[in-house]
Every structure is written in structure tokens, then in C-alpha cells.
Amino acid sequence: LVTLIIFLNYPLRSLPLYLDMKLDCKGGFVTLVWTDGRSQMDTSLLRLGSCFPTSLTDREAVFTVDFNDCNFRRLVTGKLLIYSNDLTYITPPNSVIPSYIDLIVCEYERPRGWYPQVYEPVFSTYGLEELVFHIGLMNADFSGPAESTKFPLGSIIAIMASVEQQTHQPLLLLIDECVAATTPELQPESSLYPLITNKGCLVDSKKSRSKFEPRRKTSEIRLSLQAFRFAVGGEVFIHCGLVAWDPNGLGNTKKACHYKDYGWELLDDPTHSSLCDCCESSCKARKMRDLVTGTHGAVQNVNESLRQASP
């Protein structure tokens, strides 16, 4: 079962009668056709998330894109799997057509037994001893544990993760994925809110003040997370996957990136922020750069969950 919802938001005026938009939600991708019956707009200026049209004419723009591309947002509720994105049109100077944003939404019935693959338990290590990971809520200056787990909307939640290196060579700690959920254990019925996705991209930083803080040591990573509107008034559990990696082995799938006014920035070396470019699409391993082998690091999902209770 596929349910289609289109929310339109025109800040200056409503959709002209001569414009037409058709959206077709498929199993793993979406096709959107935008038609201008009077050829008054430049269809090349349309964007679906981070994607350009896949085909263009003077009067029509067509997008045929996968949900894994274009920076689609995914929300899982009790019975629905929802993908959303923004269709934007930025007008050139002196244009008579105003800029606007359309919210494009595809809703699917949640498959029976569906479970987010990214949270399947993964663990591998190397060296003489197993690695020990920690994560917890901290006070505002990260000097000690948080005194409360209640945060008003808009406030900053300080989170710190670390790894005990023991006899291992120096390791760089990264947060691979992070999601807020309404349950202490991730279940098929859990409602999810993505925080860090795409192998280290802090996607929440694009719409909030969330950011990675400068490192004090490679075996720690600090995250300032702006309290978000999700299950307001109830408990929120934050589940993260941690990665301990070779400090010299950063790549598209081993990184910490957050969004600033000028674009994506790599936490550990802003001069190589190009590694973050894939945050707008899909971050995949590249041969000779991202070598996923037991000699480079360890990956483990954090079993304990952080709890946030909003007043």
C-alpha cells in the first residue's frame, strides 16, 4: 500500500493554474514530473533535495531518483515508513515568478518485521584486547555527567563518547550512525528521528545548532545536540553506533562531518572537507581509500541508550 501526500508551501502566492506536478512513489524510488504550461519559469532551476532534474525541456522537469539519494529524510512511525524531501525553485534576479519550496512526501505501509539495517549488531576488533566503548550525557562544559535528563526544546544536549584504547595503537573515535527513538531498544514499532546518518554525517546540523565539538583527544568525540521536537513530553532514547579507527584512515565512510553556513566541514581536518561531499547523496567506500579490514579499526553498536525526557 502506497499513500501519497504533497504539502505545498508558497510564501508569496499560490500555485498558478498553468503549473502541474505529478508524483509517483515507487518501491525504492520516486518519479516527479513538473510541467509549466506557459513556459514562464526556468525548469533548470528546480532541485529535489540536492539533486538536479534527470531530464529537462523548456516546459518540463523530470526527477527519477532513489530514496538513498538527494538527501531524502526517512521517518519511521508505528505503521508507516515515510520519505520526504524539498522541491525548491530559486528564481533568477528580476524574475516575475517568486521562489518557493514544496514538501514532497511518500508514505508506505511499514513492512511486517521491517528493521533498519544500519542497527544490525556489528563487531570486529584487532589487537591483544577487546575495545571498551562508553557514551553518556554530560553537563554543559563536558566536565562531568549531566545532572538531569530533562531538556527544554532548543536547549543543548552535551553527549560524549569514548573508547578505552588499552594496549591498542592510537585510535580515532567516530560516530557512524545515531538515531533518536521512542523505545529503549530498537524495535520494528519504534518511531525514529535520524541524527547522524550516511557514515558520520550529522544531518541534524543542517536544520539546528547541533555540531561536533573540537577534539581533546582522538579516543573521544563530543557532540552538542540541540533538543529537537520529537515525542515531546515523553522519553527519548538515543542509540548510536561507534567506530574506533586508524587516525590516518579517514575516508567517505569513516569521518565526522557537520554542516555550517558555508557547507559541510570535516571535524578532524577542514582542509579535506571534500570527504563530506557525499553527505548530500550516499557515502560509499572507495577502493584504495576506505579499506574496511580488521587491521584498521573496530565497529560496535552502543548497547546502552541515552534517555532524554522533554518537559
SS (H, E, C) the chain: CEEEEEEEECCCCCCCCCEEEEEEECCCEEEEEEEECCCCCCHHHEEECCECCCEECCCEEEEEEECCCCCCEEEECCCEEEEEEEEEECCCCCCCCCCEEEEEEEEEECCCCCCCHHHCCCEECCCCCCCEEEEEEECCCCCCECCCCECCCCCEEEEEEEEECCCCCCCEEEEEEEEEECCCCCCCCCCEEEEEECCCEEHHHHCCCCEECCCCCCCEEEEEEECCCCCCCCEEEEEEEEEEECCCCCECCECCEEEECCEEEECCCHHHHHHHHHHHCCCCCCCCCCCCCCCCEEEEECCCCEEEECC
Residues 287 and 299: their CA atoms lie apart, in Å, by 19
- Same domain for 243 and 161: yes
Decide if pLDDT at 262 tops 90. Answer: no
8 located within any domain? no
Q: What percent of the chain has pLDDT over 70?
A: 71
Do 214 and 83 share a domain, yes or no?
Answer: no
For the cut 60, the answer to whether the pLDDT of residue 179 exceeds it is: yes
* 292 pLDDT above the threshold of 70: no
Residue 4 lies in a domain: no
Q: Is residue 231 part of a domain?
A: yes
Q: Higher pLDDT residue, 118 or 84?
A: 84
- 142 & 94 share domain: no
Question: How are strands ordered across the β-sheet holding 60-66?
Answer: 19-25, 29-36, 60-66, 55-56
| Mean pLDDT (whole number) for 39-57 | 80
Give the CATH number for residue 25: 2.60.40.3210
Give the mean pLDDT of 173-189: 83
Residue 117: inside a domain: no
Regarding whether 144 and 103 lie in a shared domain, the answer is no
Lowest average pLDDT, out of 17-26, 147-156, 180-189, 286-295, goes to 286-295
**266 is a domain residue:** yes
Among 30-34, 94-98, 287-291, the minimum mean pLDDT is found in 287-291
User: 304 and 159 in one domain?
Assistant: yes
- What pLDDT score was predicted for residue 256? 95
Look at the chain and report how many structural domains it folds into. 2
In terms of domains, do 164 and 61 share one? no
What's the CA gap between 193 and 105, in Å, rounded? 16
* One domain for residues 75 and 172: no
Please check whether residues 76 and 156 belong to one and the same domain.
Answer: no
Half-sphere exposure of 218 (CA within 13 A, CB side): 16
Same domain, 103 and 141: no
Tell me what pLDDT residue 166 has: 67
Of 195, 229, 199, which is closest to residue 211 (Cα–Cα)?
A: 195
Q: Note the pLDDT of residue 12.
A: 29
Higher pLDDT, 305 or 36: 36
Identify the residue with better confidence: 53 or 286: 53
pLDDT tens digits along 147-177 = 888 888 888 999 999 888 666 677 889 999 8
Instruction: Give the CATH number, domain containing residue 155.
Output: 2.60.40.4100
Q: Residues of the chain with pLDDT > 90: what percent?
A: 17
191 within domain boundaries: yes
In a domain, 43, yes or no: yes
237 and 177 in a common domain: yes
Mean pLDDT of 105-129: 55
> What does pLDDT average to over the chain?
75
Does residue 244 fall inside a structural domain? Answer: yes
pTM: 0.56
Contact 69, 61 (CB under 8 A): no
* Residue 56 domain boundaries: 19-109
Of 74, 109, 144, the last residue of a domain is 109
> pLDDT confidence of 265, banded at 50, 70, 90?
very high
User: Do 221 and 272 have their domain in common?
Assistant: yes
Residues 93 and 180 in one domain: no
